[in-house]
Amino acid sequence: MSTPAGGDAFLHELERNVSTELTLAEAGQPEEAAGVPVDEWLSDPADEQRYEVGLHNLLGAVEALEDGFGSGGHPSPAEAQEAGGTAPRMPDDRHRHTEKEGW
């Protein structure tokens, strides 16, 4: 399935939103929580750290999709077909589908 015409705009907007959220998460001051009793914390610093790591992972995934590496650096089956390619190959260079299956 190919990306809709607005797909690039969607990915760019998603990247911008994740980057903004990551900036806000990184700007948090966990050191300030050190002087506050645990029962007065608004959130657990470990949860905040996990959230930040998740944002980094999401940002990396969005950037990879924008760069066209979402499928391991290979075009999608639809893109390969549009370019005149054949069926996708397995890592050991076998065709994914056999002639018996009608491919």
Residue for token pair 């390619």: 85
d(CA 95, CA 103): 9
Strand partners, 89: 95
Average pLDDT of the residues of the chain = 74
The residue with greater pLDDT, 47 or 91, is: 47
The residue with greater pLDDT, 36 or 16, is: 16
To the nearest 10 degrees (0 to 180), the angle between helices 45-67 and 7-27 is 150
pTM score > 0.75 for this model? no
Q: What is the mean pLDDT of residues 47-58?
A: 94
d(CA 95, CA 56): 35
Q: In Å, how far from its chain's centre is CA 69?
A: 10
Q: Which amino acid is at 64?
A: A
